[in-house]
């Protein structure tokens, strides 16, 4: 594939709005705090004054002692905290006591489902750490990485987040870059991934896909190198609903959205043709969700940030999903998990954690289903764990959360099952389900390369 076929320039109006200037790096003295008073990814190592957030221990790298786990084969997660019990429950009757540590979306769920929605709060656990190599490169990024093209890209080194200590100008875009470019699996295969659109009456419409992803920025032979042009490749095949069975899409994600854009090609079995999609991402409805989830809600926010003005609102202590092993264990059934109105609270785990609050407001020159989105990004991992979404009139319409767990396969955090609550009309979408399947995600098994994600490869597989 020739380079000119891979990249397309953004609209001239966007290019004119972007600044080509770089943004400040931190001093060596500030970077030296990483691994000391800060975790190696920039989280505050100390607990909070109230003792409700523990200090970072980082005592485990990979599989903890006593856990029977075979990496890289798709084994379901195994809970190292299986003996933990909830400290207390936040309910429709007492939520106002905890209002300072809740988001607007969580409060809306308590108000809408006062008799069933609960947040089980567990002891905070901060026991897992990243590999030493990743921590060293993060420190290097802290003093050398810089935003370019108005925050649409950055210069730095591949592997960890680029800005473990956000500072200087445009911290909002630095925080968003950390969310978009975390250390995660370099290959991910999901033989069966289910999606459930749970209606207000409890009836479920099913979607099912098969997925493969190659993350260039965390490939072992690329870690520590200067960032290149491509972030990742993906391949998504539809198995359900039946009307869409056989559709397949490959996509390529750029590192810099001012110099390239997400490109995608799809095969339609009805026409037996491969064609390039004119646009892939943003508020395009995700397949099988009846419009209740957009493509850029995967991991709460993904793709180009160009349609929003981003503002960092600082840090808050919020009850968020954390150490979410129980919800993914192999003895959990969809019937048990997918209860009417919202997921079964008995299978969820929340902890009080410090999160960055990042708000995106839709630009007047752009369109999107959501006029505002508020991301809550975990300080220890830089993964967005919750998000509240507002329509263009300012009404809160959706609350999403991702159940992350530390995956022993890759010594880092994996995005598990997500839930997106439709606050406007009711019902919810459960995304990335694998509890009822024989295998979960197969992480870091290798075996993927860029040649598998081209239009020509898609054409060969389709026929």
Q: How far is CA 254 from CA 115, 154, 187, 230, in A?
A: 46, 11, 17, 4
Query: Residue 11 above 90 pLDDT?
Result: no
- CB-based contact 319:90 (threshold 8 Å): yes
Q: For residues 25-40, give the mean pLDDT.
A: 96
Residue spans per domain, the chain: 3-462
291: confidence class by pLDDT, cuts 50, 70, 90? confident
SS3 of residue 42 by DSSP: coil
Query: Residue 120 above 60 pLDDT?
Result: yes
49: confidence class by pLDDT, cuts 50, 70, 90? very high
In sequence order, what E strands does 79-145 have? 88-90, 119-121
Q: What pLDDT does residue 1 have?
A: 35
**Across all residues in the chain, what is the average pLDDT?**
93
Q: Identify any residues that bridge with 210 across adjacent strands, giving them in sequence order.
A: 237
Q: For residues 85-98, give the mean pLDDT.
A: 98
Statement: the pTM of the whole predicted model exceeds 0.85 = yes
List the structure tokens of 18: 């972007």
Query: Residue 5 above 80 pLDDT?
Result: no
SS3 of residue 27 by DSSP: coil
Q: What pLDDT does residue 18 have?
A: 38
Q: Identify any residues that bridge with 105 across adjacent strands, giving them in sequence order.
A: none
Farthest CA pair distance, the chain: 62
- Tokens 């250390």 correspond to 183
CATH number of 3-462: 2.50.20.10
């Amino acid at each position: 594939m020739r380079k000119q076929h891979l990249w397309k320039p953004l609209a001239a109006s966007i290019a004119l709005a972007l600044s080509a200037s770089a943004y400040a790096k931190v001093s060596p003295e500030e970077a030296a705090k990483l691994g000391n008073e800060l975790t190696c990814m920039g989280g505050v190592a100390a607990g909070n004054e109230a003792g409700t957030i523990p200090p970072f221990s980082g005592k485990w790298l990979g599989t903890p002692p006593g856990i029977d786990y075979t990496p890289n084969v798709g084994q379901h997660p195994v809970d190292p905290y299986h003996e933990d019990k909830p400290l207390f429950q936040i309910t429709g009757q007492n939520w106002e006591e905890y209002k300072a540590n809740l988001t607007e979306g969580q409060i809306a769920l308590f108000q809408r489902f006062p008799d069933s929605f609960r947040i089980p709060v567990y002891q905070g656990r901060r026991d897992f750490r990243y590999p030493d190599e990743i921590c060293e490169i993060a420190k290097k990024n802290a003093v050398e990485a810089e935003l370019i093209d108005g925050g649409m890209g950055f210069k730095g080194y591949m592997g960890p987040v680029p800005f473990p200590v956000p500072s200087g100008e445009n911290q909002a875009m630095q925080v968003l870059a950390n969310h978009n470019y975390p250390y995660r699996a370099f290959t991910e295969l999901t033989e069966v991934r289910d999606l459930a659109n749970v209606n207000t009456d409890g009836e479920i419409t099913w979607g099912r896909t098969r997925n493969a992803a190659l993350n260039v920025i965390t490939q072992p032979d690329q870690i520590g190198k200067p960032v290149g042009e491509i972030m990742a490749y993906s391949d998504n095949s539809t198995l359900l609903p039946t009307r869409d069975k056989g559709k397949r899409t490959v996509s390529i994600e750029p590192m810099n959205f001012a110099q390239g854009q997400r490109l995608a090609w799809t095969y339609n079995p009805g026409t037996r043709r491969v064609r390039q999609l004119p646009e892939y991402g943003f508020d395009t409805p995700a397949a099988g969700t009846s419009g209740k989830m957009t493509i850029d809600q995967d991991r709460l926010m993904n793709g180009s940030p160009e349609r929003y003005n981003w503002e960092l609102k600082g840090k808050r202590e919020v009850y968020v999903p954390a150490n979410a092993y129980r919800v993914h264990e192999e003895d959990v059934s969809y019937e048990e998990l997918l209860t009417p109105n919202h997921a079964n609270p008995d299978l969820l785990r929340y902890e009080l954690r410090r999160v960055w609050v990042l708000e995106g407001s839709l630009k007047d020159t752009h369109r999107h289903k959501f006029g505002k989105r508020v991301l809550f990004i975990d300080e220890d991992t830089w993964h967005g764990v919750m998000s509240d979404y507002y329509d263009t009139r300012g009404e809160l319409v959706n609350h999403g959360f991702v159940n992350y767990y530390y995956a022993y396969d890759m010594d880092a955090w994996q995005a598990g099952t997500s839930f997106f609550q439709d606050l406007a009309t009711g019902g919810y979408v459960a995304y990335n389900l694998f509890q009822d399947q024989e295998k979960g995600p197969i992480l870091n098994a290798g075996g993927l390369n860029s040649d598998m994600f081209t239009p020509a490869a898609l054409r060969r597989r389709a026929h």
